[in-house]
Amino acid sequence: MTQPALVAKNLEKTYQKGTEAEQTVLKNLSLTVDNGEFLAIMGPSGSGKSTLLNILATLMAPTIGEVEINGKDILHMRDNEMAKFRGHDMGFIFQNYNLIESLSVAENIGLPLNLQKVAPKLVKERVRGVAELLNIAEYLEKYPAELSGGQQQRVGAARALVHEPALIFGDEPTGALDSENAREMMTYLSKINQAEAISILMVTHDAFSASFASRILFLSDGQFVAELKRGTQSREAFYQQILHQLGIFEE
């Protein structure tokens, strides 16, 4: 059996510990992302989604708990080892895609490879390949300010994919997109998940985006309260199942 892409055990996160404002946001939370899996975490505003994602994506430490990515204990890695691991093995797609305005689209996408000192010819090839996959090859010489929001988000996604990470983290990856661009972005994510067996972990409050995943965990008040698996059903049927589940929470 291949090892899981990510294993988190007994996570707890308390903000402002020891003060009057102390708040425990994640409570004894465990999860596994299987290799090649597309997992979505859904939950209402304030349920702890971003906190969980930031911990799993190594951007924040939990108060208690363990996180392993590709079998490596990420909470006890040295900073330089961590930076290298992040640069090689992980990709990040966030709602604000943080493109660098003074760099062209091609330079923005190639950034992770240039930081790894990959040969320029190879950078060019990889940038073109991923830009074609995301339908943005015609904008490679343009600058971020010249693109629409949806195009910019695809550039952000291309940058997250260009170094062929084993695991991609998404925080509301369709948050800034209209429904047509959201559909395209999710279609691309499922494509790379299936074609390149890249594992994806995404948090979202959007049922449509979540319906592209193979499994959904529902977070409420810092704990998982339900799980849905897509199985062999169509995406449309899965979408209806998710809406039904969200309706149950509201009753």
**Interaction between residue 25 and ligand ATP (CB under 6 A):** yes
Strand order in the sheet with 72-73: 23-33, 6-15, 64-69, 72-73
Residue whose CB is less far from ligand ATP, 41 or 99: 41
Site for ligand ATP in 186-215 (CB under 6 A): 205
Q: What are phi and psi of 166, to 5 degrees?
A: -80, -25
The angle at the Cα of 250, spanning 244 to 251, to the nearest 5 degrees, equals 90
**Interaction between residue 46 and ligand ATP (CB under 6 A):** yes
> Which of these segments, 41-49, 63-71, 188-196, 224-232, binds ligand ATP (CB under 6 A)?
41-49
Can you read off the two tokens belonging to residue 223?
A: 């704990």
Measured between alpha carbons, how far is 70 from 167 in angstroms, rounded to an integer? 9
Residue whose CB is less far from ligand ATP, 8 or 136: 8
Q: Do the Cβ atoms of 107 and 98 come closer than 8 Å?
A: no
Q: Do the Cβ atoms of 67 and 55 come closer than 8 Å?
A: yes
The angle at the Cα of 189, spanning 221 to 57, to the nearest 5 degrees, equals 45
Q: Out of 3, 10, 15, 122, which residue is the one contacting ligand ATP (CB under 6 A)?
A: 15
Site for ligand ATP in 113-172 (CB under 6 A): none
> Which of these segments, 34-42, 48-56, 65-73, 174-182, binds ligand ATP (CB under 6 A)?
48-56
Residue whose CB is less far from ligand ATP, 43 or 156: 43
Rounded least distance, CB 241 to ligand ATP, Å:
21
Q: What are phi and psi of 246, to 5 degrees?
A: -65, -35
In angstroms and rounded to an integer, the radius of gyration of the C-alpha atoms of the chain is 18
Q: Out of 6, 31, 42, 47, which residue is the one contacting ligand ATP (CB under 6 A)?
A: 47
Interaction site with ligand ATP (CB under 6 A): 15-16, 23, 25, 43, 45-51, 205
